[in-house]
Amino acid sequence: MKLKLFLFLALICCFFSGEAMASDPLSPPLPLELWGMPFKQATVIYAFLAALLIFIGCFIWSRGLSKENPGRGQMLLELIINAFDNLCKSSFGTKERGRLYLAILTTLFLFVWTSNMMGLLPIPHLAIGGEVFTDYNANEHYDPGEPYIDSNKNGAHDPGFILPSPEEPTADVSTTLALALLLVLLLGHGSEIYYKGIKGYVEEYFSPGGFIGVVMMPLNVVGKIAEIISISFRLFGNIFGGAVIISVVSGLVCYVVLPPFLFGFFGVFVGTIQAFVFTMLALTYISAGAAEEVEEDEASEAMKV
Amino acid sequence: MEELHVANVAAYLGAAVAMGFGAIGSGWGIGYVGVGAARGMARQPSKNSALFRSMLIGQAVASNPSIFALVISFLLYSYGGNDKLQAADSFAQAAAYLGAGISIGLGAIGSGAGNGLVAADAVEGMARNPKESGPVTIMMIVGQAMGQTPVLFSLVVSFMLLFTGEHGNLNASEEFVTSAKLLSMGICMGFGAIGPGLSSSYVGGKFCEGLAKAPEAASELRSAYFIGGGVAQCMSIFAFVFTMILWTA
């Protein structure tokens, strides 16, 4: 059943990519523009690479688990899963409710963390196949990421398959906004409607109730929108800012001594902290609507365990 | 003597304003985390290394607002030095650059100082009750992230002013009005972010301290914090909404 679904999805993907290629034989395999919106190749390629790395990594990681003789990798895996399990349990009230959201939140953390680390990959800018225009000085607006269009020769050069140099997918606002919409809007608001019903969900916007609630309604609505803006732009600002600082300061010191430390701080340290912050905020926003009401005794017991 | 490029001058000015004002808040805040850690270490000398680690995490997150200011400053600096990067050389473009600098520069003051308050209170709380240091560390990071919401609005407005809109090809009266609009967007968001950044972080700091003092009241404290901090952030949301109104005007 799952295999059939997977094959179906793969077919759909092939169809769309084939259509994009058929529209212009000279265009690169990934469209530069989709439905009138700009399309950043580096973001898409490295987001898929991150997902692939997580998939392969976790697949290998979870082979050969044993109860009696856990290895180092298993201990680390258990540490991560346990930490998120405890967080979910304390935020969602009960263990069962927390387990419902455990998988997506852990996956989110792994994806955001791996995406933040993508800038560390030592991949040069590559153009595979195709006729590449190499005289950069002839056109001062030449951008290696875009197919080169020479207006004098009345035609586009075929750039072949372009593999852009690594860029963090999270340094593109479309990735972070998509993640924020998926988690806060779909999962957070969706599960709030599921658990409280439409009536309970709407009442949330008139939160203190009575006349004050009516006055506060627009504020609550704007506050909900602000949640999405702040969660997505926090991640974007940190990662994009880190990338800008790394490139500018590395250039200032002529790529001597400092760049590894810059990558260590802005790449690894800030990337890890921001991945955790993003996951924690998503957890907080989702659990605000979806937490299970527990009795006092149960709550204190749940905190102890 | 070449002709005067107004936009280049404004880009340099904006870069100076962004970094100069942006360093105030985080500079004070990062130092204050150290004060909190020192107090905590005096209270609980056996937990020195754990407190030191938490202090470093708190300081790293508290430096975020000034890092945002640094980024905008670098971008403005590169616009100032390079004629080709720039969209247009007009008074409106100059106002956009200056507005971007003012927005992030002033906006970073409150959040930077506030993030320091959160981390200092949290580290002191950890020293008071070392058993609760796990949940307090998590809530410290969440509190700092909540305190950064106003500076993120400032960042959004700065990016909007930098990257959107071609401000060339305007006639004299249009250019005057557009310049005023773009500059006032930066001023509105910049000043509007100072108070909420400070106050919502202050709520977060006291919440971390309370969580360490009374872990059994965690759920009550959490709901009080999210309502209190959320209401404190309303003012920055007002400023953001008004900035958007100015943008569409």
C-alpha closest to that of B234 among B195, B190, B204:
B195
User: Residue B18 in contact with residue B101, Cβ under 8 Å?
Assistant: yes
**Is residue B88 within 8 angstroms of chain A, CB to CB?**
no
Flag if B233 and A234 touch (Cβ within 8 Å).
no
Q: What pLDDT, in 10s, does the model give residues A178-199?
A: 999 999 989 999 999 999 889 9
**Is residue B135 within 8 angstroms of chain A, CB to CB?**
yes
Q: Beta strand pairing status for A155-156 and A126-128?
A: unpaired
Q: Where are the alpha helices (DSSP H) in chain B?
A: 6-43, 48-62, 64-81, 91-128, 133-147, 149-163, 172-192, 194-213, 218-248
Chain A residues close to B142, C-beta within 8 Å: 277, 280-281, 284
Q: How far is CA B7 from CA A61, A104, B69, B83, in A?
A: 55, 47, 19, 9
Q: What pLDDT, in 10s, does the model give residues A240-295?
A: 888 888 888 888 888 888 888 888 888 898 899 889 889 988 988 898 888 777 65
Flag if A226 and B237 touch (Cβ within 8 Å).
yes
Q: Which residue of A has its CA nearest to B85?
A: A141
More confident residue, A164 or A153: A164
Chain B residues close to A222, C-beta within 8 Å: 237, 241
In this prediction, residue A19 carries a pLDDT of: 40
Phi, psi of A161 (to 5 degrees): -90, 120
Flag if A280 and B216 touch (Cβ within 8 Å).
no
Chain A residues close to B234, C-beta within 8 Å: 219, 223
What is the secondary structure of B58-100 as a DSSP string? HHHHHTHHHHHHHHHHHHHHHHHH-TTT-S--SHHHHHHHHHH
Chain B residues close to A248, C-beta within 8 Å: 74, 78
More confident residue, A212 or B67: B67
* Residues A210-215, mean pLDDT to the nearest whole number: 81
Confidence of residue A56 (pLDDT cuts 50, 70, 90): very high
**Taking 50 as the threshold, does the pLDDT of residue A24 lie above it?**
no
**Taking 80 as the threshold, does the pLDDT of residue A41 lie above it?**
no
C-alpha closest to that of A145 among A163, A123, A122:
A163
Flag if A234 and B145 touch (Cβ within 8 Å).
yes
In this prediction, residue A205 carries a pLDDT of: 85
Tokens of residue A198, six digits: 């439409």
> What are the pLDDT tens digits along chain B (249 aa)?
456 688 888 899 999 999 999 999 999 999 999 999 999 999 989 988 889 988 998 998 899 999 999 989 988 888 877 666 666 778 888 899 999 999 999 999 999 999 999 999 999 999 998 888 888 888 898 899 889 999 999 998 998 888 876 676 777 888 888 899 999 999 999 999 999 999 999 999 999 999 999 988 888 888 888 888 888 888 898 899 899 899 887
**Taking 50 as the threshold, does the pLDDT of residue A134 lie above it?**
no
Predicted-assembly ipTM surpassing the 0.90 threshold = no
Question: Which residues touch A263 (CB under 8 Å, ≥6 apart)?
Answer: A119, A120, A246
**Taking 50 as the threshold, does the pLDDT of residue A23 lie above it?**
no
Whether the pTM exceeds 0.95: the reply is: no
Whole-angstrom Cα Rg for chain A: 24
Query: How far, in Å, CA of A7 to CA of B212, rounded?
Result: 52
**Taking 80 as the threshold, does the pLDDT of residue A18 lie above it?**
no
Chain B residues close to A229, C-beta within 8 Å: 152-153, 156
In this prediction, residue B219 carries a pLDDT of: 80
**Is residue B228 within 8 angstroms of chain A, CB to CB?**
no
How many helices (H) and strands (E) chain A has is answered by 10, 6
In this prediction, residue A71 carries a pLDDT of: 82
**Taking 90 as the threshold, does the pLDDT of residue A204 lie above it?**
no
**Is residue A221 within 8 angstroms of chain B, CB to CB?**
no
